[in-house]
Amino acid sequence: MIVQNPSLAAHPASFAKTAYTILDGDEEVARLTLRLRDEGVITVGEAPFALGGSRHRYVLLFEGVEVARAVQPSAWRRRLEVRVRGAMLDRAVARPDAPDVDLVLQAKHPFSRTFELFEGERLAGEVRRASPFSRKAVVDLPAFLPLAVRVFLFALVVIQWRRADRQAAASGS
């Protein structure tokens, strides 16, 4: 059972599958813009976070400092190992010596569009389509993760969705 998380909604900001507006209720709290090579920008308020990607490695940067990193160990499995820098987690007081947080983001089933987030063995959240035929998404991820990291995790899911769409188109499905 998922720990109850505050839900965010992700709505397509364009007809292309490259831009999303992230909403908390009716309020826009972030924007995601992806480029063709799995790179992009996450904007929280006025703060831009860079999303860098190369095949199966992704990094979230703020002013050149790594906030989070994700690695997809196998191209054949939709599973990403994510490390969030402990010093970057939301806290009242920044602690440079805070331990990193290791997470796993993986597809719920081999052909599922729903991705689950695990912290150790505990199911901590999920990202799913709002409905089977919608590009809107529901982002239920732990509140202890900064908003930029939650959007980064959503971006990783969108990248997986885009890959699946390209593979289906290439195979004629």
- C-beta neighbour count of 167 within 10 angstroms: 10
Calpha distance 60→37 (Å, rounded):
15
The yes or no reply on domain 7-171 and CATH 3.40.50.300 is no
Question: What is the DSSP code (8-state) at residue 145?
Answer: S
**pLDDT band at residue 93 using 50, 70 and 90 as cut-offs:** low
Q: Using one digit for the tens of pLDDT, what is the confidence trace for 37-53?
A: 789 999 999 999 999 98
What's the pLDDT score for residue 132?
Answer: 84
Please determine, for residue 1, whether its predicted confidence score (pLDDT) is greater than 90. Answer: no
| More confidently predicted of 78 and 2 | 78
Please determine, for residue 33, whether its predicted confidence score (pLDDT) is greater than 80. Answer: yes
- C-beta neighbour count of 69 within 10 angstroms: 19
Contacts of residue 49, Cβ cutoff 8 Å, sequence gap at least 6: 41, 42, 43, 60, 61, 62, 67, 148, 151, 152
Please determine, for residue 2, whether its predicted confidence score (pLDDT) is greater than 60. Answer: no
| More confidently predicted of 120 and 163 | 120
**pLDDT band at residue 60 using 50, 70 and 90 as cut-offs:** very high
Calpha distance 3→125 (Å, rounded):
7
Judge whether 116 and 106 are in contact, CB under 8 Å.
yes
Calpha distance 40→33 (Å, rounded):
5
